[in-house]
Each structure stands twice: as structure tokens, then as C-alpha cells.
Structure 1
Amino acid sequence: MADATLLPTHPLEAHRDAFTALSAELATAGTDLAIELEPLTNAVDLRVDPAAVDAAALRDVVGGTLPTLPNTWTVVAGGRAVWLGPDEWLLTGERPARAWEEALHAVVGPHGGAAVDVSAQRTGVRLRGAGARALLAHGCALDLRPASFPPGSAAQTLLGQSGVLLTAEPDGFRLAVRTSYAGYVADWLLDATTEFRPRPTDQQRAEA
């Protein structure tokens, strides 16, 4: 009997080939810019007053230290923790979301906190290379220069007309966007790369 197991499909699967072809085209032209889909990952939204909870117990279940500096992210076991507010973080990683949610709730629930599985809420796109900053500047009002937005930074902002969670990486940027707006952001990125693509030569125009 054939295996009938249903596998999750990336919300932007229909854009994967376009991103791959675009990245190859840019690389051939010598442009240091690539766009790729982030693998699907589990996510938990954590809310708690950090002063009210046992820090050691929370650190053990999170798998690392939560960022306390506004608009930053830190590495935790198997993923990352992104600061969203004084009492809110987005945890992402490969740990089973249900078990992670329950373990976190056991620690923060008695202190008025909450942990909610939001794995289906956002999808991710990765921008790599020196050209990523220039590309984002077409639709993001933040100052993304390394001095102002270095690796380890995070911000909830707009890209075009869509809200995104933007994180600065050592080799570029990561965009986490609500799944319902993911198609818009993907199309925006493809359109915004127009000026980065090589222009056809006179001979190519004639042949066309």
C-alpha cells in the first residue's frame, strides 16, 4: 500500500523555482544577492514577566537565555529567541511545538505567563549577500546599515505594505512574515530585484 502520509508544504513553494532562478541569474551577473525560502520551523510565542519567574527553570526549558535588550535575538537550543516586547518573545526551532509549549507553560503559567504554539503563523525568507541591504531599502524605512542594525538585531517593521519580523544575520537578513501576506512579500521581492538584474545587450534585444 502506498504511503498516505501528508507532508507539510511551504506556503511559498510556488515561488521556490523563481527565487532559485533569480539567485542564479544574479550570481552569473556578479551580484552578491540571493533569495531563498527558510525551512519550515516550529514556533512558540512566550509571554511572561521575566522578574516573576524562576530564571534558571525558564533558561532550562528555553534552551538558552532570552534576549532582554530590545530589538535583538539570541541563539537557543535548536533555534533562536527574538525579543518582541518587554514580556514577549518568539521562540523558533526544531523542537516539537506541542511539547515545547507545554513545558514552557508549566514554568510560566503559575506566574501569569503564557506559551502558545504559533508555528503556522509565519513563514520565512532569507536574503543573503551584500545586496540584501540595498534591496530591502526599496521598501523598508529602517536604517539597515551595520552600525545601526548589526547582526543580532531584530525589528517588527513594514516591507512595502506588509508587516514583517526582520532579523539581521551574519550573512544577510531573515524575513518572517504572516502566512497570509507571504505571497505579497515574495512577489514584492521578485519585483524589487529588477534593477539588480543584468540588462540585455543591444545584440540580445535585436535577437529578441
Structure 2
Amino acid sequence: MADPTRRRALAAATRASRGAIRLAELPFLAQLDIRLDPKDPAADAVNRALGLDLPLEPNSAVHTSRSSALWLGPDEWLLLGRPGTQQTTEASIREAAGEAPVSVTDVSAQRTTFLVSGPRARDLLSHGCSLDLHPRAFTPRRCAQTTLARTHVTLISRDHPSPGFWLLVRSSYAPYLTNWLLDAATEYLRPDPHDPF
């Protein structure tokens, strides 16, 4: 269950930054872990069923208006979609794969997603991430399994609907990561004395 106190704290930091950063939680995204042989003909059928091509380049991501696919390994992807779509998407993948060996695991309850965007988003994340987040090095449509503030996250650079990052983190670490983001954002905040949060 999404924590309303966490959402309010992130929204208050966003307001206090006066446009420098935007912090939000995107709870309940559908998340499916897919394992299959990308050279198997079934992979093409799965791509057609999903309406996207599973990325084959390491640490790359593909986005459509309905979903995103992240490369996690040579035969593993994480598919992200709108909340509540995991069962129908899983059924579509299994039907498209037919008798081919494919593994589809619903991991939606395992993680939550944070949005970090705005002109200072890269600076904020650089406080706790050792990756080079410069736009030339970590371009849109890139992803990486890494650590942020000693917490394992999957980091996704996005350019739609606006430039920014998604952070996928285990739900049990969401309170810790929220506190770290709020603390790291302090230098970009100019609090409104009338804001109740």
C-alpha cells in the first residue's frame, strides 16, 4: 500500500524546490520478469504481443505509451506497465510463446518506483550513485542495476513524458530511500513558511 505521508513529503519537497526537482512515488506499476531465448522464434511473437521489441543491448530500455522493457541480462527483461495490467500481459506473453520455454514472473509487489526529474535531478542522484549520470554517458533509454545510497535500485533514464529518472527499489527500502532523497534534496529547497508539510 502506498504511504500517503511519503507522498505528501515528496510533494512538499517538489514545491519547495521551485522547479529545481520533482520527486514522486509511482506505486503499483505492473512489473513482470521475463526470461526467454531472444534467438527463439517465440521471441518475435512475444515482441508482437507486447507491441515493442525487447531490447538486446545491455543496459538499454524501450518505452511505449503503454509499457517499458528493461534489459537485465542476455535472456532476462523487466516489463513495466500500468497498474493492474500484469495478469492480462502475462497471459498475452504465455499465449504468444506457445510451447517455447519462457518464464514470466509477476514481481509487481516486490518494488515501488520513484520519479526524480527536473533540472537538478542528475545532481541530486549523483550524491549517492557512483554511475556517471551525465547526459552523454547515461542517455535517455538507458537503465542500470546499481546502488543509490547503499540501496540496490534499478535506475532508468527517461525522456517521456519529460526528462528524468525512475528508481525501482524494493518496497521494504522505500521509507529509507524517501528519507535519503529528501535529505539529498535539501540544498535545492527553499521552504515556504506557509506549507503545512
Q: How does 1:178-189 map to 2 (within 5 A)?
A: 178-189=170-181
Gaps of 5+ in 1: 1-8
Q: Is the 8 A contact 2:36 2:43 kept in 1?
A: no
Shift of 1:56: 3.2
C-alpha separation in 2, matches of 1:172 and 1:96: 24
What's the TM-score once normalised by structure 1's chain length? 0.83
- Could you report, residue by residue, the CA deviation over 1:146-183 in whole angstroms, capped at 9, with x for unpaired residues? 01001111000000111001001121111111111111
Q: Is 2:55 the counterpart of 1:64? A: no
Gaps of 5+ in 2: none
Return 12-21 or 191-200, whichever deviates more.
Answer: 191-200
Q: Partner residue of 1:166?
A: 155
The RMSD of aligned alpha carbons is 2.1
Q: Partner residue of 2:14?
A: 23
Partner AA of 1:132 in structure 2 = A
Q: Is 2:149 the counterpart of 1:157? A: no
Q: Partner residue of 2:62?
A: 74
Q: 1:84 to 1:109 in 2, by over 3 A?
A: farther
What's the TM-score once normalised by structure 2's chain length? 0.88
Q: Partner residue of 1:37?
A: 25
Q: Is the 8 A contact 1:53 1:107 kept in 2?
A: no
Q: Is the 8 A contact 1:50 1:87 kept in 2?
A: yes
Q: Is 2:43 the counterpart of 1:51? A: no
Q: Secondary structure at the match of 1:166?
A: strand
C-alpha separation in 2, matches of 1:179 and 1:53: 36
Higher relative contact order (CA 8 A, sep 6+): 2
Q: 1:109 to 1:163 in 2, by over 3 A?
A: farther
C-alpha separation in 2, matches of 1:158 and 1:61: 33
